[in-house]
Amino acid sequence: MPDLTLSDLPDSSVSPFLCLTIAPARVIRGEGILAEMGSAIAHLGQRPLLVSGSKTQPLVRSQLLPILQTQGRQPAQATYGQDCSEAGLAALRQAAADHQADWVIGVGGGKALDAAKLLAHQLQLPIVTIPTSGATCAAWTALANIYSDQGGFLYDVALAHCPDLLVLDYRLIQTAPLRTLKAGIGDAIAKWYEASVSSGHSEQTLMIAAVQQARVLRDILLQKSLAALQQPGSPIWREVVDACVLMAGMIGGLGGAQCRTVAAHAVHNGLTHLPASHEMLHGEKVAYGILVQLRLEEMVQGNGLATTARQQLLKFYSEIGLPKNLAELGLSEISIADLQQAAEIACNPHSDIHRLPFKVEPTQLMAAMISTTAPCQPMKIQEAGSRSQEPEALPPSSPILHPFGEVQS
């Protein structure tokens, strides 16, 4: 089932009502629209707290503060710190209390938006998200990731609702480095490879819808990403931005956690505990994690479709500049101990990697992590306690249930 939240409902222990957190209440998008958003934003309250990172504070001061002050509002600024961490959130709650904030505006990348959303969730305040890059779908989702003060992923929090308003200003997104959109493509395209393996055979209506939207998202990105990166600001570039920021978030809302993250994100989570990986963006690590997941499917299951999909992605990554192996993640000198640490964290009992239809041991994951660019001959590792077998014959392709769909040249 999708992520379902019983949020502040009376007698929730016996209530039959389940709340879907699928989409923001409003999404406003356009070229240079931020300057025109005064009345749309300001109706949510009188004393907004603007949450951003330190790099985004000049933008907040020069653009948002004047807009809000023109509307007669009394804004204040606060930074989330280095990461969306428990310590940073405690400081934000204090800043909100000191300002007597009655709503929150998140401005920035994924961690800034996650911090702002979680702050609003904890204080039960309205929230506006304004992404400054196409690197993630955090502006859309009812989800926030919590990291340690050292930058290691700890856990995620399902929020009561998606943002009250999402403002997507293409002119603002275009000011971000092109690398951020490449990372967004890596994060978004993972939706298909993770959703199809965890939920591709579900008969639930919304899960089928989410998986098929993930398939459409994959095709959009495979077909349009290269041209979009070559033509920033163009119509095709805006379509790819929409795919990464909006459509990817909608898929997670429809399908929920089961459909949203599997091994690719688990690999990301493990890598965040290695300081050497902190220079890489979230979507870059997730993109590499897709190759690791496909490699696992080849090695553990002998899955020939996974082999073909991995080869297709390797070609795509080469074209647009996403990392294909540990060396391209800046981890060419990673030690066996560090690799084992990342693999063990990725395989912890609560990890999303266990949504795969087979058991994964850290040693198997390590083998997959160092062989993402291996030649196109699938081999099978004998699973613990089981006899190695040839893969069963695949059923005929189905437009709804087939886990990989048509492979495009």
Q: For the residues of 307-319, what is the DSSP string, one character each?
A: HHHHHHHHHHHHH
Q: What is the model's pLDDT at position 337?
A: 97
Check whether residue 20 and residue 143 sit in a common domain: yes
d(CA 142, CA 155): 14
pLDDT digits (tens, 9 = 90+) for 101-131: 999 999 999 999 999 999 999 999 999 999 9
Q: Identify the band that residue 3 occupies on the pLDDT scale cut at 50, 70 and 90.
A: very low
pLDDT beyond 50 at 12: no
The answer to whether residues 287 and 354 touch, using CB atoms and an 8 Å cutoff, is: no
Tell me whether residue 94 is in a domain.
yes
- What are the tokens at 292? 């690791």
> Domain end: 155, 174, 193, which one?
174
Residue 30 gets the label, from left (phi > 0), alpha (psi -120 to 50) or beta, of left
Check whether residue 112 and residue 205 sit in a common domain: no
Domain that holds residue 99: 15-174
Check whether residue 224 and residue 248 sit in a common domain: yes
Q: What is the model's pLDDT at position 391?
A: 33
Check whether residue 218 and residue 187 sit in a common domain: yes
Q: What is the model's pLDDT at position 377?
A: 61
pLDDT beyond 50 at 387: no
Q: What is the model's pLDDT at position 17?
A: 56
Tell me whether residue 385 is in a domain.
no
Q: What is the model's pLDDT at position 149?
A: 94
Q: How many CB atoms lie within 10 A of CB 100?
A: 11
Q: Partners of 166 in the beta sheet?
A: 27, 129
Selected residue with higher pLDDT from 260 and 273: 273
Check whether residue 200 and residue 105 sit in a common domain: no
The answer to whether residues 130 and 104 touch, using CB atoms and an 8 Å cutoff, is: no
Q: What is the model's pLDDT at position 380?
A: 52
pLDDT digits (tens, 9 = 90+) for 303-362: 999 999 999 999 999 999 999 999 999 999 999 999 999 999 999 999 999 999 999 999
Q: What is the mean pLDDT of the chain?
A: 89
Tell me whether residue 194 is in a domain.
yes
The tally of domains found in the chain comes to 2
Tell me whether residue 310 is in a domain.
yes
pLDDT beyond 50 at 275: yes
> Domain end: 112, 146, 174, which one?
174
Q: What is the model's pLDDT at position 125?
A: 98
Q: What is the model's pLDDT at position 303?
A: 94
| Token pair 């912890």 in the structure block, residue | 348
CATH number, position 301: 1.20.1090.10
Q: Identify the band that residue 390 occupies on the pLDDT scale cut at 50, 70 and 90.
A: very low
Percentage of the chain beyond pLDDT 70 is 88
Q: Partners of 145 in the beta sheet?
A: 156
> Domain end: 174, 198, 232, which one?
174
- What are the tokens at 178? 């092109």
Q: Identify the band that residue 72 occupies on the pLDDT scale cut at 50, 70 and 90.
A: very high
CA 264 → CA 60, 64, 105, 271, 351, distances in Å? 33, 36, 30, 11, 11
DSSP element (H, E) containing 216: helix 205-230
- What are the tokens at 390? 């040839």
DSSP element (H, E) containing 144: strand 143-147
CA 12 → CA 5, 142, 160, distances in Å? 10, 20, 14
Q: What is the model's pLDDT at position 20?
A: 79
The answer to whether residues 307 and 376 touch, using CB atoms and an 8 Å cutoff, is: yes
d(CA 168, CA 136): 13
pLDDT beyond 70 at 40: yes
Q: Tell me the average pLDDT across 129-144.
A: 97
Check whether residue 235 and residue 303 sit in a common domain: yes
